[in-house]
Structure formats: structure tokens, C-alpha cells
Amino acid sequence: MNFISDNTAGASSRVMAALAAANDGPASGYGSDDWTRRVEDRLSVLFEREVAAFLVATGTAANALALACLVKPWGAVITHEDSHIVEDECGAPEFFSNGAKLVDLPGTGGKLTPAAVTRALGYLNEGSFHNVQAQALSITQATECGTIYTAAEVRALAEAVAARRLAVHMDGSRFANAVATLGCTPAEITWKAGVDVLCFGGTKNGAWAVEAVIFFDPARAEEMKWRRKRAGQTLSKGRFLGAQFEALLADDHWLDLARHANAQARRLAEAAGSGGRSRLAWPSQANEVFLILPATTQDRLAAAGVRYHAWPDRSLASDNALREGEIIGRFVMSFATDPGEVERLIATIAG
């Protein structure tokens, strides 16, 4: 029973079929193929406005290149201390922006608050050559703690940085899971709420390897084609990126995959959280469940061969602090998660 990550799942059958179909015959290279053109047009329809979209192969590249377009080397990106760009991208955002600083803030459940962001801006003196200049806010949707920002929360954060003219970047590696939970349109949770650039994840949601960097103001994307090429992310056989994303978008396949993953997480959260053997670290709002596990439950899981990821407790609320011997276990569901495995996991936790 492997619940380490949604990255452990392969690609959906529709995506694999699309890749096979794209493999038949020649096609133009470097993103000038028909599949990529159709995806670019489809994304403008999906988001209800003209967008500039760039396909890349990894989430790290998506986030790092997007932020490099938004900040100068002396700039700063305000983000959560648990965010992927801080914890899991090996300095790529700093590298590709030629040294921009990440200012990481605490926040319960992996979420930033307008008050915390405003306070941080107060320490970054605008115009002072002694300070890095705050130029972007990066939020993660869904967050690294499995929680979700509502459209109102996104809007409040965007308003908190508007006076300082910060661009708003959304790391959406699990964007599909957030949209599936909220039941909103993609536009409502992005540009209509103040987001300037979205990294729309496909890899964690049924694709083989593809992410879309979406600029809601195409003027902000002027540097992206060069930055993408320089970073080695302009694939010569770019049709295989376009084919994946086209398959995800067709007939809302991306949402169906996310709904399945979310449903499996909801089943685990409801069962495990009420069984007395564990408790939820944070509300499970997407496809991840974070359970506070006592030592006896950890032992049962180990004996059963259950694989999960131990998680830091920085974002825990003070009234939910870990007790002696407890850890936080992260259990991630995917489009391919077998409901039967979830039931076996629930039974193992219950003992």
C-alpha cells in the first residue's frame, strides 16, 4: 500500500492513448505542432480570456521560470515556509531569477494570511537599496498541507500586496484537486481573484510529465520563450507535451481524475479521523490526508508495509500539537488509487 505521493501513479489511459496517437507520423518541433496550438487555444477558452501558455516538463521548471519572469535579481518573493519553492526545488527559483530572495512566512495549515503578508512587507522597505524589493507573492493551491484557498482568500491576499504592485503567482501542481473541491471555474480562483501567473499541474493528475505556465496578461510573458529555451525546457518533440495536456482537458478529464483522488482522501479522512487511532493534522480538502499517528499506529502501518511520508509539524495549530511519540503522516491519493487499498489502510489504522 503506497501512499507516498501522487507522483507514484503513472499516466491515465487517455493520456497514454494520446501519446501513442501523437507518435504516429511527423510533426513540427519546438512547440509549433498542432497539439500544442490546440492546447494554447483551449486554455484561453477554459480561463475565459486570452492567455499566454507555455508547456514544460516539470513543476520545478514551471515555478522557477514563472517567477523569473516576475522578479528581478534584487527582488523578493513572499511565500509560505512550507511551500514547494522553498522546500523542494533545490534553489531553482533563486537560480533562474539570478538570485531573487524567497521570504518565507509561517501560517497554520500551509496558508498565508493577509496580516502576515502585510507585516512582512513592512520590513521590506520599498525603494531602499539596502533591502531586496518585494516583487511577487507566491501561493500554493492546494497547499502543501492539503488545504485550499477559497476565491475570497486569494482575493484578500492579492489585495494585501496590490499597493506595492506585487505580481501574484500560484503554484498549482494540485490545481485540479482544488478546483474539483471548490466547484468553481478556473477563472474564478485565478485571474478573477487577482492571480497573474498560474503553474497548472498535469503530472500529479494523470499526465506523464507536463505542466502549463499560464500568464493571464500576455505582456508579462515576453521573456518566457527565451527563459524556457535557456533552461532546457523547450522540447524538440514538444507535441508529446501538447498531446498530454490536450487529453487532460478533453471532456474535463482533468477534473474527473482529481475528483476520484479527492474522494479517496475524503474517505480516509472521515474514517481515520473518527476512529480514535489518529486525528487529522489539518482539514483534508484535496487529495492529501495528514494524520497524527501515535507510536502504536505507526508500528501497525510498518508491519503491514504501508508507505507514507512523515511530515513536519510547523504548520500545526497550537491546540493540535504533537504528543510524545506522535508524528504526522502524509497519505496522498491519486487518480489511480484503488478504493480497496484505502479500505485496507483504514482497517490497518483501526487495528
| Grid cell of 337 as nine digits | 488509487
Percent of the chain with pLDDT over 70: 99
pLDDT of residue 275: 65
Q: What CATH fold (topology level) applies to the domain 257-350? A: Aspartate Aminotransferase, domain 1 (3.90.1150)
Q: Which comes out higher in pLDDT, residue 197 or 272?
A: 197
Percent of the chain with pLDDT over 90: 97
Convert the pLDDT of each residue in 249-258 to its tens digit: 999 999 999 9
CATH of 12-253, one of 3.40.640.10, 3.40.50.2000, 3.20.20.70, 3.40.50.1100: 3.40.640.10
Q: Is the dihedral of CA 62, 255, 346, 340 positive or negative?
A: negative
In the chain, beta strands by DSSP E: 52-56, 75-80, 101-105, 133-140, 167-172, 197-201, 211-215, 279-280, 288-293, 309-311, 327-332
Convert the pLDDT of each residue in 301-346 to its tens digit: 999 999 999 999 999 999 999 999 999 999 999 999 999 999 999 9
Convert the pLDDT of each residue in 113-161 to its tens digit: 999 999 999 999 999 999 999 999 999 999 999 999 999 999 999 999 9
Residue 199's DSSP bridge partners are 171, 213
pLDDT at 172 over 90: yes
Binning pLDDT at 50, 70 and 90, where does residue 273 land? confident
pLDDT at 96 over 80: yes
Phi-psi region of 127 (alpha: psi -120 to 50; beta: other; left: phi over 0): left
All residues at 6 or more sequence positions from 165 whose CB lies less than 8 Å from its CB, including other chains = none
Question: Within a 13 Å sphere around the CA of 221, how many CA atoms are in the beta-carbon half?
Answer: 20
pLDDT of residue 278: 83
In whole angstroms, what is the distance from residue 17 CA to residue 11 CA?
A: 10
pLDDT at 276 over 70: no
Which one-letter amino acid corresponds to residue 129? F
Q: How large is the average pLDDT for residues 167-186? A: 98
Q: How large is the average pLDDT for residues 100-125? A: 97
Mean pLDDT, rounded, of the chain: 96
Residue with cell 504592485: 165
Helix, coil or strand: residue 290: strand
pLDDT at 179 over 90: yes
> Domain limits of the chain?
12-253, 257-350
Convert the pLDDT of each residue in 187-242 to its tens digit: 999 999 999 999 999 999 999 999 999 999 999 999 999 999 999 999 999 999 99
Residue 259, Cα to own-chain centre: how many angstroms? Answer: 16
All residues at 6 or more sequence positions from 321 whose CB lies less than 8 Å from its CB, including other chains = 313
